[in-house]
Amino acid sequence: MTKVPGNTWTTLEPPLPSKASQNAFVEHARALAKVCRRERTEEAIEKARGAFVAEVTACRRSDRQTLLAAGLVITDLATQGWTVRVRSERVEVKPPDSVTDPLAEKARIRRQELVKRNAQLRQPSVQRFLESMERQRLHDGSYVSIYSLMRDGRDLAKGLREARTHLNNGWADALSKLVDPYLQFVTAENAACEFTGLRLMDVWRYFRHTWTNQYTSVPGRTMVFLVRDRAAANHPVMGIGALSSPIMQIRKRDSWIGWHPETFLDRVRTAPTRELAKWLVDTLDAAIDEIYVADLIEDGILSTRDLKTPSLAVIERLLKESAEARKKHQRFARSRDYKQKRSDFHGNEYWIAKARTHLFRSKRALALSTYLRARAVLDEAFDGKPTAEKLAALAKTGYGSDAIRRVLKKAKADRVGIAVADISVCGAVQPYNALLGGKLTAMMAASPEVVHQYRRRYAQAESEIASSMAGRPIVRASKLVLLGTTSLYGVGSSQYNRIKIPAERLGGNAGDVIRYAELGRSEAFGTSQYSEETVHALVELVQQSDAQRVNSIFGEGVSPKLRKVRQALDLLNLPSGMLLRHHRPRIVYAVSLIKNLDDYLIGAAKRPEYIVPVNEGVAATAAIGAWWRERWLRNRIISDDVLDEVERHTTVRPVTHGARVPLQRAAPQQPMYSDLSPELPEG
């Protein structure tokens, strides 16, 4: 394994309040350093963690939280491959070296993920859920369980071996009778599988627990689906997927679609048009019109005239008001005050009440100051007549570029939550893994049927932030046009690479394609390297301090957990910039579903030009299945090794099936199946 040099040692000096707590931290670090030198196994690190936590409980109360948080952080670092050492009573850590061996890097990441996944599977509530899914129950006269939705690999492998005899003639018909995928959306909380009576959400959740990484819920919009096989009894599950609200800032994605400020400014400077100039004015006008101002006018912060002809004085008053309202929010905010029910209000009263909270008064005043400053710049530059020439001149100035950036940011905010979704879960369920069922699930995620379902689900959804800023319901058209995702591993993705679907096969035009475009690698920042126990300790530390700035109130900002962890690390005098870097950059992918992506995603184009018409729906999904059989399955089954892999997944007791969640079981013949669980998810 080749190591790439460059990582250096960093000293950790948390402000522990007593000599006893300082000694406890150093001794815990020594124990971890010993484990790192010798074995670095999950069991050894967990033993050191348990001994440390027990020692913390014996410390005096004033020492406990700081010591616990600091000790758990360094424990998780050791778990994630960091090296720990103690020199002259000084604790030092070094991040894991990058490796050029892809297999070694995948193994390292897999080990990291399995630590949290296995801890989750040991939770009593999770074990009770899994046991209930595996327990037989009577449904429509037959005994069924989650095993009823797993395809027996022996039967499938036998059929595929017979199908190989048709590969030169009649293969399409032979394979379609063996594997016939379709989409099933989990559209209601209690929607049930018609073959087993199991809740579809429970079915989805069960198979999600077979993934390498732990199952977590995602805030915002979420739409989950199953890929099922109608060619076999009970229509077994082939794969699972989920679309979620997208990550707000991904530089590679934003540059690719024209959202990144410098990319957009390059476009404006090299190809200015009257349409772009007018778009700037129209977007800014709409942004100002969408802000509730009644209370600001009542309190003399601004006047209706200021909205049309802003002055520096009104901008300064708004900035001052924003800062004062933010201070009041941080001082008086209580989460329960922000959880009032919509049904308790009449008409627009709910949104007006939200707008008048300290939090949204601060946000509204700040936004207005930004938009009015930009309006003053555009008014002076265009003088009521936006043209390409005037836009080009504006973009050459610093203040003009700043105004353009601010308008672009607003345009992005209007579209990112409704027109873009992340594929947060995507992968195959055994025995379909070996047959490249992960690629099938990824292709299904881009089906017009998914776009149609997304539009139906969120057609009447009121934007929480925009409505709270406007003091009235704001509903934006949920026309999904872009999918994004990342690989689990930063060294390659067998699931997403080379996916290219000919549009003409789905009802589109010849020459057009839907494809997964590889955009580059993401920045490796986040909190995924820390256990729930550690995050809880860090959050408790912040809450016990006098410096809490994050209340987990919707509207305060994105990633409240990340911001809380960052604040806690700062309180511990630990380098948050370094410790929030999980040293696992991921490959960023994007799937454009329309032809006019750049213009539609800034609002310059009103209608998306879909590569495949949305009304193709179910027919397009079936065509994707046929294309997958032709492009991937047909060639895959030529390999005896592949079919041998399929064959070993059986539901005959004792169950040895990779779609079974890997739990510790008492019976000796029941193996641990961690080596059989899917290598992915790559969402």
CB 212 within 8 A of CB 114: yes
Q: Within 10 Å of residue 571's Cβ, how many Cβ atoms?
A: 19
Instruction: State the pLDDT at residue 546.
Output: 66
Inform me whether the pLDDT recorded for 185 exceeds 90: yes
Residue with tokens 């016939």: 180
Integer Cα distance of 81 and 373 in angstroms: 49
CB 489 within 8 A of CB 103: no
- Compute the Cα dihedral for 562, 565, 570, 575 and give only its sign: negative
Q: What is the pLDDT of residues 564-577, one digit of tens each?
A: 888 999 999 998 88
Integer Cα distance of 303 and 289 in angstroms: 14
Q: Is 389 helix (H, G, I), strand (E, B) or coil?
A: helix
Q: What angle do CA 587, 676, 177 make, to 5 degrees?
A: 90
Which stretch of DSSP H or E encloses residue 227?
A: strand 222-229
Inform me whether the pLDDT recorded for 644 exceeds 90: yes
The residue ranges of DSSP E strands in 54-149, in sequence order, are 83-87, 90-94, 98-99, 137-139, 142-144
Integer Cα distance of 359 and 152 in angstroms: 55
Q: Kindly report the pTM of this predicted structure.
A: 0.83
From 35-39, 176-180, 316-320, the region with the lowest mean pLDDT: 35-39
* Percentage of the chain lying above the pLDDT 70 cut: 90
Instruction: State the pLDDT at residue 335.
Output: 54
Interhelix angle 617-628/448-457, rounded to 10 degrees, is 140
pLDDT band at 667 (very low <50, low <70, confident <90, very high): very low
440: CB partners within 8 A, 6+ apart: 181, 227, 238, 239, 428, 432, 624, 625, 628, 632
Instruction: State the pLDDT at residue 678.
Output: 37
447: CB partners within 8 A, 6+ apart: 183, 620, 621, 624
Instruction: State the pLDDT at residue 98.
Output: 65
From 126-130, 341-345, 493-497, the region with the lowest mean pLDDT: 341-345
Instruction: State the pLDDT at residue 59.
Output: 82
pLDDT band at 556 (very low <50, low <70, confident <90, very high): very low
Integer Cα distance of 113 and 306 in angstroms: 54
Q: Can you list the pairs that 572-580 forms with residues at least 24 positions away whose Cβ atoms lie under 8 Å?
A: 572/14, 572/15, 572/66, 572/69, 572/70, 572/73, 572/541, 573/13, 573/14, 573/15, 574/12, 574/14, 574/70, 574/73, 575/10, 578/10, 578/95, 579/73, 579/77, 580/525, 580/526, 580/527
pLDDT band at 527 (very low <50, low <70, confident <90, very high): confident
pLDDT band at 184 (very low <50, low <70, confident <90, very high): very high
Instruction: State the pLDDT at residue 559.
Output: 59
Q: What is the pLDDT of residues 252-290, one digit of tens each?
A: 999 999 899 999 999 999 999 999 999 999 999 999 999
- Compute the Cα dihedral for 427, 431, 432, 433 and give only its sign: positive
Q: What is the pLDDT of residues 305-339, one digit of tens each?
A: 999 999 999 999 999 999 999 999 888 765 555 56
* Residue 585 or 181, more confident: 181
From 115-119, 274-278, 447-451, the region with the lowest mean pLDDT: 115-119
From 56-70, 235-249, 520-534, 581-595, the region with the lowest mean pLDDT: 520-534
Does the N-terminal peptide bond of residue 236 adopt cis geometry, omega within 30 degrees of 0? Answer: no
Instruction: State the pLDDT at residue 304.
Output: 94
Integer Cα distance of 392 and 35 in angstroms: 62
The top-scoring range by mean pLDDT among 27-36, 211-220, 480-489, 589-598 is: 589-598
Which of 623, 361, 591 lies closest to 497, judged by CA?
591
- Dihedrals φ, ψ of 600, to 5°? -70, -35
Instruction: State the pLDDT at residue 188.
Output: 83
Instruction: State the pLDDT at residue 681.
Output: 37
pLDDT band at 4 (very low <50, low <70, confident <90, very high): very low
For the segment 485-510, the average pLDDT, to the nearest whole number, is: 86
Does the N-terminal peptide bond of residue 310 adopt cis geometry, omega within 30 degrees of 0? Answer: no
CB 513 within 8 A of CB 619: no
Mean of pLDDT over the chain: 87
Inform me whether the pLDDT recorded for 125 exceeds 50: yes
In the chain, count H helices and then E strands: 28, 16
Integer Cα distance of 370 and 612 in angstroms: 39
* Percentage of the chain lying above the pLDDT 90 cut: 64
Which bin fits 648, alpha (ψ -120 to 50), beta or left (φ > 0)?
A: alpha
DSSP conformation class of 631: I
Instruction: State the pLDDT at residue 285.
Output: 96
For the segment 45-56, the average pLDDT, to the nearest whole number, is: 88
218: CB partners within 8 A, 6+ apart: 242, 244, 245, 424
Residue with tokens 């309006």: 375
The structure tokens listed for 204 are 């989805």
CB 241 within 8 A of CB 425: yes
For the segment 402-427, the average pLDDT, to the nearest whole number, is: 93
Which of 15, 29, 30, 32 lies closest to 67, judged by CA?
15
Integer Cα distance of 67 and 71 in angstroms: 6
Residues linked to residue 115 through DSSP beta bridges, in sequence order: none
Q: Is 519 helix (H, G, I), strand (E, B) or coil?
A: strand
Instruction: State the pLDDT at residue 176.
Output: 95
Q: Is 404 helix (H, G, I), strand (E, B) or coil?
A: helix
For the segment 653-679, the average pLDDT, to the nearest whole number, is: 56
Q: Within 10 Å of residue 552's Cβ, how many Cβ atoms?
A: 12
The residue ranges of DSSP E strands in 102-153, in sequence order, are 137-139, 142-144
CB 208 within 8 A of CB 441: no
- Dihedrals φ, ψ of 405, to 5°? -60, -40
Q: Within 10 Å of residue 135's Cβ, how many Cβ atoms?
A: 10
Inform me whether the pLDDT recorded for 45 exceeds 80: yes
Which of 484, 493, 486 lies closest to 528, judged by CA?
486
* Residue 486 or 445, more confident: 445
- Dihedrals φ, ψ of 477, to 5°? -65, 120
Integer Cα distance of 93 and 81 in angstroms: 10
| Sheet-wide strand order for 10-12 | 10-12, 90-94, 83-87
The structure tokens listed for 423 are 């594929």
pLDDT band at 401 (very low <50, low <70, confident <90, very high): very high
Inform me whether the pLDDT recorded for 145 exceeds 90: yes
